Structure 1
Amino acid sequence: MNRIDELFAKKKSDVLNVYCTAGYPHLNSTVEVLTALQVNGADLAEIGMPYSDPLADGPVIQESNMIALENGMSISILFEQLKHMRETIELPIILMGYMNPIMQYGLEKFCASAEAVGVDGIILPDLPMYEFETTYQQLFNQHNLRFIFLVTPETGEERIRKIDSLTSGFLYAVSSSSTTGNNKAISDQTNYFKKLQNMQLKNPILVGFGIKDKATFQSASAYSNGAIIGSAYIKALQNTINIQATTKEFLNSITE
């Protein structure tokens, strides 16, 4: 089984997925951040591959993308950094990014490299569902990579079911039609979360966008299998001099 599948087979609720940008706050911070997340209670780690035009991301993650690119981060360097990751990291690892740099790297090469270093899943918000189904699905499957699609409050029920049929690993339920780090109240989306819950979809559901503290994590988790925290963690890392201590403090504020 894939590590993502194993996680959801064991843990059905309050799953905490934490996003970090590769190469942030410093070029060589990536594995140190993953280690800190693992030690301090994250269930999943989502690594953002920096891109100059991250459409789904708000200003905090956009800025972390710019800093990581200025630090010299690239897909090639990321895979080099992750080469020995599985000697110490047991967390399921997801790579999140955009098609342009991946196509430049080579999609088949990307999937092979991801499998080789022990990546478990991929999120590409700008890969159309039709293209995935007709052209790329088999490639991801061949390399044991779960492919995670996003749904929003505006996604119709028929399309949600279609997305669910193509998704593997978990379904990423965007809390609002906005960018990451938005300040819209999670509690305002109760009907949307209940709708997803009542549809009895085949995939577990994690809620993302706007999850920033214990209250929002618990609100999202009440109607799903857990939630994804990104911008709030990136903010916590902004001026840290001790990634381990900062991560411990941040995650404890969510889980304890």
Structure 2
Amino acid sequence: MPQNRLTRLFQEKSGNLLNIYFTAGYPKLEDTVTILEELEAAGADLVEIGMPFSDPLADGPTIQASNQVALENGMSIKKLLNQLVQVRERVSLPLILMGYLNPVMQYGFERFCEEAARVGVDGLILPDLPFAEYEEEYKPVLEKYGLSLIFLITPQTSEARIRQIDALTNSFIYMVSSASTTGSQVQASDSQQAYFSKVQKLGLKNPLLIGFGISDKPSFELACQSAHGAIIGSAFIKALQKPSEVRENVRSFLQSIKG
């Protein structure tokens, strides 16, 4: 598969990678590109843009609420792709679209991949895409458009499945910190550290980013001790809720993590 911004990033930077998640169309419908511009200026390494869905199963209350607001604001896959048409003139960060299979299938899987690639998207996270179906049916489509698919692993994922995922991955593996939904806190608990350590010892070829429960500088630094970086979602969404101007909220939040 040809290189994209995502694969290049992991070749150029090996640790302390900060991946920020936000929901497209939140807090306001037209905030998407503004937030992306400010995330790049403030030092994020890569970004996950959430495609809002009415039933986001893996997400905790903060991200669920942002999905609801974004849908009420009028956000859709078509609207998001339209917003991103000229984003590459202003933003060079690797961009990942994260969402659920149902709206993507309604849009048309290949049409979605083709249009996402055209506007400069580098990868997808579709947590409910069955692994076997990806291998048999969807992998050639993603490869055709140069898109990386990122898989999630959890403390319950078997070693055999982790190795299978590693073999099929060409960017990074999303390491879910616990079996709960997003927004629960990463802690230096024995069970969590044992899980991180077990995965580290597998000697996987792909980098690992830890997500779910990373909310501040200490939890970011803790995650970076066990992986190549970490993903922050719910805490960033909460920062966007502050009454200040959206650019200021983005800047001050990233300063609190990286400063």
Shorter-normalised TM range? over 0.9
Amino acid at match of 1:175: S
Give the superposition deviation at 1:183.
2.9
- Find 2:243's aligned residue among 234, 240, 244: 240
CA deviation string 1:40-80 (max 9, x = no partner): 01000100000000011000000000000000000000000
CA deviation string 1:110-136 (max 9, x = no partner): 000000000000000000100100110
Kept after mapping to 2: 8 A contact 1:175/1:186: no
Give the superposition deviation at 1:185.
2.1
Kept after mapping to 2: 8 A contact 1:186/1:220: no
Kept after mapping to 1: 8 A contact 2:186/2:214: no
Give the superposition deviation at 1:196.
1.3
Aligned to 2:230: 227
Kept after mapping to 2: 8 A contact 1:148/1:167: yes
Q: Does residue 1:52 correspond to 2:44, yes or no? A: no
Kept after mapping to 2: 8 A contact 1:98/1:124: yes
In 1: Cα distance, 2:188 partner to 2:13 partner: 23
Aligned to 2:16: 14
Q: TM-score, normalized by length of structure 1? A: 0.98
In 1: Cα distance, 2:46 partner to 2:246 partner: 17
Amino acid at match of 1:174: V
Greater Cα offset, 162-171 or 86-95: 162-171
Q: Give the CA RMSD over aligned residues.
A: 0.9
In 2: Cα distance, 1:170 partner to 1:115 partner: 18
Aligned to 1:76: 78
Aligned to 1:154: 156
The gaps in structure 2 that reach 5 residues or longer are none
SS in 2 for 1:207: strand
Q: TM-score, normalized by length of structure 2? A: 0.97
Aligned to 1:249: 252
In 2: Cα distance, 1:240 partner to 1:45 partner: 23
Amino acid at match of 1:137: K
In 1: Cα distance, 2:251 partner to 2:22 partner: 15
Aligned to 1:212: 215
CA deviation string 1:210-243 (max 9, x = no partner): 0000010011100110000000000000133311
Aligned length: 256
In 1: Cα distance, 2:152 partner to 2:168 partner: 11
Aligned to 1:104: 106
The gaps in structure 1 that reach 5 residues or longer are none
Amino acid at match of 1:205: L
TM superposition outliers: structure 1 runs of 4+ over 3 Å? none
Kept after mapping to 1: 8 A contact 2:155/2:177: yes
Q: Does residue 1:88 correspond to 2:90, yes or no? A: yes
CA deviation string 1:166-212 (max 9, x = no partner): 22210000000111101352544111111111111111100000000
